[in-house]
Structure 1
Amino acid sequence: MESELKFTLKEDASFREIMNEPIILDHLLLTGNMSYAMRSSYFDTADQLLRQRRGSLRIRRSNERFYLTLKLPSHNNALYNTGVFERQEWEFELNDEDRHWDMKTGINPTWFLNRILAETDYKESADPDLVQILRVIEGRSLYEVCLADYTRTSYPYSYRSSRFELCFDEGYLGTAEYVKQFSEIELELLTGNREDLFYLKNDFLAKLPVISATKSKYDQAIEIADLYRR
């Protein structure tokens, strides 16, 4: 399960300004940071079976490593409307052999589940929602429908009883032909109490020049793709 907060910057605000605020500086676990060149390509069938089910399939390049991620809606849909993004998520790193996979041949459910089994516990990999969506798209050709190309700077962050990954993302969303620029702050809950997300959200909104984001990168990118798909 993925649980995170997303914020956009108010007009004239900057990452540099925000980094100097106590709600950031006083909670960083280390003074250092890590920067990544990220490119997320989102795939779907020709008739958008994943989108119809509010899911997404992503291949993300992070520097020189590649990850395949499948996301589905959380059963607790109310959280999404509060600015807390919570989704079911399954992810594994693609090895050298996997990178030669032709997306037009579709996904083999057995291959996907076996890869997940190697990195997570059996209960999570055998989730009925996961098995069902894999069967729905089994063998169906997959096509890139939108993308996000950006730089991520991340910090380990502690708040109350929880630990987060604090990320500053800046780049472009859309398609290979049409993009828009974006800046976003993301905090992913790594360990701790999910309720801390709500306290942290309120603190950020009260103390920083930010606004709660209402759409994921995929949601924003696919909207741009829709505008030019005609």
Structure 2
Amino acid sequence: MEIELKYLIDKDEVIEEIFQDPYLSKIKDKNSDEEIEMHAVYFDTEDRKLYREGMAFRVRKEGNKLVATLKWNGSSEEGMHKREEINVPVDDEEKLKTPDIHIFDQSEMCQVLSQVVGKRKLIPLMDIYFKRRQMRLDTGKSISELSVDQGQIVCNGKVAPISELEIELYSGEEDDMKALGDDMAEKYGLIAENTSKFKRGLDLM
């Protein structure tokens, strides 16, 4: 299960302050600072069968890597997002244009996905472009990754900006990660965000 906090950033100047924060500098993995260019394409059937079944399917270029992701059973409250997730490495950039559900043949969702999609063709719904700046944090009670995403969602000829901070729990105590997020939000004026990038894209349709 993926567990993460999501916050809107409405002042770009706080981004550098966050990455220079004295406490975060103490608890971060010194070799984990990284910037990655991301391009995600979300797919569904023409009749939005995946979405109607509470599922989201994307293929994302992450720097030099390609990763296919399936998410389902999602919920969000006060910026805390929880959902089941499968990630599968992909070695063909054509999958950014013409993916198929067989990417997940080795996963526990293979049969469910086959039943939901059937013989329907998958079509692209939206493109999401952003730069991610990230670092790994270890408080002693939880290990998480803090990232800032800046870019845009492109869907149906419309564009929506992205400027958000995420903290994803890798291991340890969820409450500890939540306390860290609350501290960051209060200190830097961040706004809890319950809407995913995918849902924001759908709102453009």
User: TM-score, normalised to structure 2's length?
Assistant: 0.88
Residue type of the alignment partner of 2:186: A
1:102 Cα offset (Å): 3.5
State whether residues 160 and 196 of structure 1, in contact with CA within 8 Å, keep that contact through their aligned partners in structure 2: no
Q: Counterpart of 1:119?
A: none
Change (3 A) 1:12 1:113: closer
Change (3 A) 1:51 1:96: closer
2:80 equivalent among 71, 78, 84: 84
Q: Counterpart of 1:148?
A: 128
Alignment of 1:129-148 (within 5 A): 131-148=111-128
Change (3 A) 1:28 1:97: closer
Q: How many angstroms apart in 1 are the aligned matches of 2:78 and 2:123?
A: 32
Q: Kindly indicate which of the two structures has a greater share of residues assigned to helix.
A: 1
Alignment of 1:67-82 (within 5 A): 67-74=67-74, 77=75, 80-82=76-78
Q: Kindly indicate which of the two structures has a greater share of residues assigned to strand.
A: 2
State whether residues 174 and 222 of structure 1, in contact with CA within 8 Å, keep that contact through their aligned partners in structure 2: no
Q: How many angstroms apart in 1 are the aligned matches of 2:30 and 2:16?
A: 17
After TM superposition, the structure 1 stretch with the greater mean CA deviation from structure 2, 205-214 or 164-173, is: 205-214
After TM superposition, the structure 1 stretch with the greater mean CA deviation from structure 2, 215-224 or 176-185, is: 176-185
1:97 Cα offset (Å): 8.9
Residue type of the alignment partner of 2:105: L
Q: Helix, strand or coil: the match of 1:14?
A: helix
Change (3 A) 1:204 1:41: same
Change (3 A) 1:152 1:101: closer
1:54 Cα offset (Å): 2.3
% identical aligned pairs? 25
Q: How many angstroms apart in 1 are the aligned matches of 2:96 and 2:153?
A: 25
2:143 equivalent among 163, 187, 208: 163
Q: Counterpart of 1:19?
A: 19
Q: Counterpart of 1:212?
A: 192
Q: How many angstroms apart in 2 are the aligned matches of 1:151 and 1:186?
A: 13
Q: Deviations over 1:73-131 (max 9, x none)?
A: 14xx4xx223211110011111249749834xx424xx5232xxxxxxxxxx336xx63
The answer as to 2:172 corresponding to 1:180 is no
Unaligned 5+ segments in structure 2 are none
Residue type of the alignment partner of 1:144: P
Residue type of the alignment partner of 2:138: S
1:23 Cα offset (Å): 4.1
Change (3 A) 1:100 1:68: closer
Q: Count residues in correspondence.
A: 205
User: TM-score, normalised to structure 1's length?
Assistant: 0.79
Change (3 A) 1:113 1:163: same
State whether residues 23 and 204 of structure 1, in contact with CA within 8 Å, keep that contact through their aligned partners in structure 2: no
State whether residues 107 and 140 of structure 1, in contact with CA within 8 Å, keep that contact through their aligned partners in structure 2: no
Q: How many angstroms apart in 2 are the aligned matches of 1:95 and 1:222?
A: 28
Q: Deviations over 1:118-167 (max 9, x none)?
A: xxxxxxx336xx63233211331011111210111111112341111111
Unaligned 5+ segments in structure 1 are 115-124
Q: How many angstroms apart in 2 are the aligned matches of 1:91 and 1:158?
A: 23
